Amino acid sequence: MVNNKKGSHRGDSSHLIVDSCQSYPIKITSVSTLACATFSESSTTTSKALQALTSAALVLPGLLLTPAHASDADRINFQFSRYQEGKRDLFGVPNNLKPITADVLHGSGIFSLTDRTKFNFSYTQDTWSGATPITISPLAANGNRPILGNTATGITTVGASPIINNSQVLLDRDLNPLRQDSQNHQLMNKDPRSVMVLSSASPETRNQANFGLSREWNEAALNVSGGFSRERDYKSNFGNVSGRLDFNQKLTSVKFGSGYTSSNISAILDHDASPYITKTAFSRQIESRGGSEILQGNRHDWTGNLGLTQVLTKNALLEANIGYTHSNGYMENPYKVMTVIFVDPAVLNNNQTTPITGDMRALLEQRPNVRNQVAINTKYIQYVSAFDAALHLGYRLSTDDWGINTHTFDANWVQPIGSGWTLTPRIRYYSQDAAGFYNPYLFSQQTYRRNEVDSLGRQIWIDAKNPNIQYVRDSSFNLIDQNGNLVNEALLNVQPKTASFDAGKLPGNFSSDHRLAGFGALSGGVTLNKMIMKGVALEAGFEYYTRASSMQLGSGGRNGFADFDYYVANAALKLDLESTNLSMPGRNLSQHQDSPTHHQHKAPPAGIMFGHMLDKPGDFMVGYRFMHSWTNGNMMHGAHKVNDQTIVDQGCDTTLCRFTPTYMNMRMHMLDIMYAPAKWWNIMLMPTFMDMDMNLRTLAGRPAPVPGVHEHQGIAGHETGAVGDTMISSLVKLIDIPGHRVHMSLGLSAPTGKVDLQLRRLFQIDGGLIHFGMQLGSGTWDFMPNLTYAGEYNRWSWGAQVNGIKRMENQNKSGYRLGDVFQATTWGGYDLTRWLTASVRGAYTVQGAIHRDFNSFNARIGPMDFPANYGGQFWDIGLGLNAIIPGGRFAGNRFSFEWVQPVRNDFNGFQLERKGALSATWSYRF
């Protein structure tokens, strides 16, 4: 919908793509013809530019592991957190790039296997997207260019373009950048300011899992744990051992630990940026595959620490810790480049006073291969009896051989305020020194590339087909070889022989990553904790953080352009399994242990939602549900396989299709919280979190690419992931007689999942909204009625359910609405043992096609971009297993699994085959 029109705004305001740039970036073949090169007009990028959030994190996940809190009761926690940064300062350049946001989902648990042994696990999933800096350059070099476009309301900014090469940076003789007035091109004063050059990215997801075992003796403990972190371009595995020894009646505890992390980086370099980045230093680590360039690296980290906790008085204690980390391997961030401005020394020293031009280039950053860090941490905790509160004061010092010394001061005040509420305000100040090799940008007094000359000063030419033979030109400009013979130039592909810059003249290590600069940061936050009933607590936290170069301890204030702020908000549900299970002292234990299997009815298969109700008023149920569905294989039309040519011709409405999906996987995480206010009535809340990934391929027989029209490039696909829609439901018992139950539920789905996710802009072409199937929710309020019947007799159980989804609005924020759904399903189950049930289920589902269409640009590259290709009729079979823990420590926990196998699909339009779905649920009543 929006294209840059070359030269159409000539003479307009300063917000132009530079006139002499070509519309479509072309790999630099000859330096002289292009005055500048833009690598993308990006508003959102297909990742690669910056994600690898573990490499974005300068601290690896394995090093941050908090070991099992062995002294805690058994528990299960769920937490959701949202991180949102503010916009970076681009000094007036219009910028509508979205700042970084991250949605984090976390679940963890601690379980006692025996009296003295505990098992702990945790799972974390982060999904990040947004614009981050790739480099820093002089403001006067105009690194961030806005892109204008024609919209209904006139000319508006639709994106920003990062420019990392510019052979026309104006400098004065002291190498200060000069500002040029864009209207009349008149030179103005020197402008020493720097700016971060931003590029943005589509969502990317990282998954991390940790497991651990811990053993408690009377005066000692030992923990062993390990885990891994995975994202598209960063894989990390880690393990550690730690322990504690108590002395002096446990008044003194000595703690020790050590760990190891091994990581592998496989970074797909930004497809648009890569041609403009000088990567010669890493050429041995870069491989080309499928149209993309991949930088490989490995990294190893070793860590050890020793600590002490000492009780000082009956109201105070002190903790001190010292830790050492040794890292080696690939330590760089593969998506960050260093801006080097090459200045020709001959021009600089020619005794004139006119401004000179510098050649601004981007080089992949280089960091030392080794890093040794030492950190000392102290904490003092004081009980304040007047308020029944505790004051926590902490100070940490860290230092390393990169020159980064940091200081952290923090203070928390933990204040219980009655009725199970606890309020904890907190404040933190942090300061770090810059790494020795940090620089916003560099000057180098040499040319980036120069034409080589021979000993007589004649320019050397080579044949591109046979570069080893050198030629020169005679006075009549004819080509002659080394022996003076004339050569027929028409038979050769002759080019000037060029020599690249001498890397030895640059510092061995350099980086403009603002996280290695010197700065200070101040943050303040508050945590609120509420005990809802015995063993269930809700916790909510909020923090605001601001990073300012002027706040650095000591000197500071030289990288204010890199300042930013963020806020984090999170909410958690914490279940204390022991409290909820614990009967009052004095009650008969054995009676309680029988009840879980006695009064709980058999549960329906995992794929059924809203399938059972709680019977006792005041009962609570918490559950977690995970669904993973796969689509891949053949493209189908209706119920039949279809070939590429048919898809090209018919799959895309009035245009021709160019791409088709190869796979699409969808994962849904849901938290079920159910409460029974009365015997006949339950209410349920289900927040959800979705993530999806897919990839595409070119269709055989597709029309040729057209300039100005979006294409899918490279080998990587797309990912989305964030909060999905939230469901609220009210369940009412209709019939409840021995052996048969019928209930009805009226549910509402609130459109908390985004439906306006976009693809990055590529080659000056808008990416537009991402395909219907990759949006995270329906975007509309939906009514979800259902009617369920369940019966049981001895070891047999059976049931049936009809349910539907009726969209209650005509269109969502992006202009369309999903089709309505109707489903009828029936199942039968048989108890294999007292605690294990097997089930078989059949389901028929019909879903309508999408109504209306996107109301803003979508690239329409394949059948998944068209509303008619959604919905259909589906016949599935489900095979499931339900288990309940009958007694003992974990009585009452239920698990169920179900595999749903599609038997027959009758798709609307052209869709990818459905291969099946797996559901797994855990629930616990109390």
Partner 1 sequence: MRIRKIITGIFMLTLSIGLSGCVSVAAWERGNLAKPQMALDPHPLQSTVRMHNYGSREAAASTHSAEGGGGCGCY
Partner 2 sequence: MIKHQVIFLTGSIVFALLAIFSTSSLMAAQQMSKPSPDCAFTTLDGVPIQSLHAFQGEVVYVDFWASWCPPCVKSFPFLNQLEHEFKAQGLRVIGVNLDEKKADAQEFLDKNPVEFDIVADQTKQCAKDFEVIAMPSSYLIDRQGNIRYVHQGFRQGETDKLRLMVEQFLTEKP
Q: Which residues pair with 122 in a beta bridge?
A: 108, 210
Q: Are 777 and 724 in contact (CB under 8 A)?
A: yes
- Of 11, 586, 654, 737, the one binding partner 2 (CB under 8 A) is 586
840 makes contact, choosing from partner 1, partner 2, none, with CB < 5 to 8 Å by partner type, with none
Q: What does the block give as tokens for 625?
A: 């549900």
Please identify, among the stretches 197-205, 256-264, 272-280, 811-819, the one whose residues bind partner 2 according to the rule CB under 8 A.
Answer: 256-264
587 binds partner 2 (CB under 8 A): yes
Smallest separation, CB 365 to partner 1 (Å):
14
Smallest separation, CB 329 to partner 2 (Å):
11
283 binds partner 2 (CB under 8 A): no
Beta-sheet pairing, 101-112 with 75-85: antiparallel
Q: Is the dihedral of CA 676, 677, 681, 684 positive or negative?
A: negative
Closest CA relative to residue 374, chosen from 406, 331, 409 = 406
584 makes contact, choosing from partner 1, partner 2, none, with CB < 5 to 8 Å by partner type, with partner 2
258 binds partner 2 (CB under 8 A): yes
Smallest separation, CB 290 to partner 1 (Å):
30
Residues 6+ apart with CB under 8 A from 223: 67, 68, 70, 212, 213, 214, 215, 241, 242, 243
Please identify, among the stretches 87-95, 218-226, 562-570, 875-883, the one whose residues bind partner 2 according to the rule CB under 8 A.
Answer: 218-226
What is the 3-state secondary structure of 595-650?
HHHHHCCCCCCCCCCCCCCCCCCCCEEEEEEEEEEEEEEEEEECCEECCHHHHHHH
- Of 58, 59, 113, 116, the one binding partner 2 (CB under 8 A) is 116
Report in angstroms the alpha-carbon separations of 894 from 242, 614, 838, 917: 33, 14, 14, 20
Residue 679 has what DSSP assignment? Answer: T
Q: How many residues bind partner 2 (CB under 8 A)?
A: 31
Smallest separation, CB 897 to partner 1 (Å):
28
Smallest separation, CB 616 to partner 2 (Å):
21
Nearer to partner 1, 190 or 379 (CB): 379
Closest CA relative to residue 399, chosen from 431, 369, 424, 446 = 431
222 binds partner 2 (CB under 8 A): yes
Smallest separation, CB 243 to partner 2 (Å):
5
310 makes contact, choosing from partner 2, partner 1, none, with CB < 5 to 8 Å by partner type, with partner 1
Nearer to partner 2, 369 or 634 (CB): 369
The string of DSSP letters for 449-473 reads EEE-B-TTSPBPEEETTEEEEEEEE
328 makes contact, choosing from partner 1, partner 2, none, with CB < 5 to 8 Å by partner type, with partner 2
Gap between the Cα atoms of 265 and 769, Å rounded: 30
Gap between the Cα atoms of 770 and 710, Å rounded: 12
858 makes contact, choosing from partner 1, partner 2, none, with CB < 5 to 8 Å by partner type, with none
Interaction with partner 2 in 545-564: which residues (CB under 8 A)?
none
260 binds partner 2 (CB under 8 A): yes
Nearer to partner 1, 547 or 771 (CB): 547
Q: What does the block give as tokens for 119?
A: 């098992």
Interaction with partner 2 in 46-75: which residues (CB under 8 A)?
73
Smallest separation, CB 235 to partner 2 (Å):
20
Closest CA relative to residue 21, chosen from 501, 94, 9 = 9
Nearer to partner 2, 218 or 485 (CB): 218
Q: Are 338 and 350 in contact (CB under 8 A)?
A: no
Nearer to partner 1, 78 or 282 (CB): 78
- Of 585, 598, 737, 738, the one binding partner 2 (CB under 8 A) is 585
Smallest separation, CB 336 to partner 1 (Å):
14
The b/e string for 548-571 (b: 16+ C-beta within 10 A; e otherwise) is bbebbbeebebbebbbbbbbbebb
Nearer to partner 1, 313 or 833 (CB): 313
Gap between the Cα atoms of 618 and 675, Å rounded: 7
Please identify, among the stretches 344-352, 584-592, 636-644, 918-926, the one whose residues bind partner 2 according to the rule CB under 8 A.
Answer: 584-592
101 makes contact, choosing from partner 1, partner 2, none, with CB < 5 to 8 Å by partner type, with none
Q: What does the block give as tokens for 874?
A: 């589906």
245 binds partner 2 (CB under 8 A): yes
Smallest separation, CB 303 to partner 2 (Å):
10
Q: Are 147 and 157 in contact (CB under 8 A)?
A: yes
Nearer to partner 1, 221 or 273 (CB): 221
Q: What is the CA radius of gyration of the chain?
A: 32
249 binds partner 2 (CB under 8 A): yes
587 makes contact, choosing from partner 2, partner 1, none, with CB < 5 to 8 Å by partner type, with partner 2
Q: Is the dihedral of CA 149, 152, 154, 158 positive or negative?
A: negative
586 makes contact, choosing from partner 1, partner 2, none, with CB < 5 to 8 Å by partner type, with partner 2
> What are the phi and psi torsion angles at 811 (to 5°)?
-155, 155
Instruction: State which amino acid sits at residue 710.
Output: H
Nearer to partner 1, 565 or 736 (CB): 565
Smallest separation, CB 430 to partner 1 (Å):
6
891 binds partner 2 (CB under 8 A): no
Smallest separation, CB 369 to partner 1 (Å):
17
Instruction: State which amino acid sits at residue 591.
Output: Q
256 binds partner 2 (CB under 8 A): yes
- Of 464, 589, 735, 737, the one binding partner 2 (CB under 8 A) is 589
115 makes contact, choosing from partner 2, partner 1, none, with CB < 5 to 8 Å by partner type, with partner 2
- Of 302, 626, 789, 830, the one binding partner 2 (CB under 8 A) is 302
Interaction with partner 2 in 364-393: which residues (CB under 8 A)?
370
The full length of the chain comes to: 926
Smallest separation, CB 318 to partner 1 (Å):
7
The string of DSSP letters for 381-420 reads EEEETTTTEEEEEEEEEEEETTS--EEEEEEEEEEE-STT
Smallest separation, CB 64 to partner 1 (Å):
5
Neighbour count for residue 296 (Cβ, 10 Å): 16
Smallest separation, CB 318 to partner 2 (Å):
21
SS3 label, residue 32: helix
- Of 218, 283, 351, 466, the one binding partner 2 (CB under 8 A) is 218
Q: Are 295 and 327 in contact (CB under 8 A)?
A: no
Nearer to partner 2, 242 or 923 (CB): 242
111 binds partner 2 (CB under 8 A): no
Which residue matches tokens 């969209």? 807
228 makes contact, choosing from partner 1, partner 2, none, with CB < 5 to 8 Å by partner type, with none
Nearer to partner 2, 257 or 880 (CB): 257
Farthest CA pair distance, the chain: 112
What is the 3-state secondary structure of 815-829?
CEECCCEEEEEEEEE
Cα angle, residue 566 at apex, residues 565 and 571 outer, rounded to 5°: 160
320 makes contact, choosing from partner 2, partner 1, none, with CB < 5 to 8 Å by partner type, with partner 1
Gap between the Cα atoms of 535 and 582, Å rounded: 10
890 binds partner 2 (CB under 8 A): no
Summarize as ranges the residues that interact with partner 2 (CB under 8 A): 73, 114-116, 217-220, 222, 241, 243, 245-246, 249-250, 256-258, 260, 302, 304, 326, 328, 370, 582-587, 589
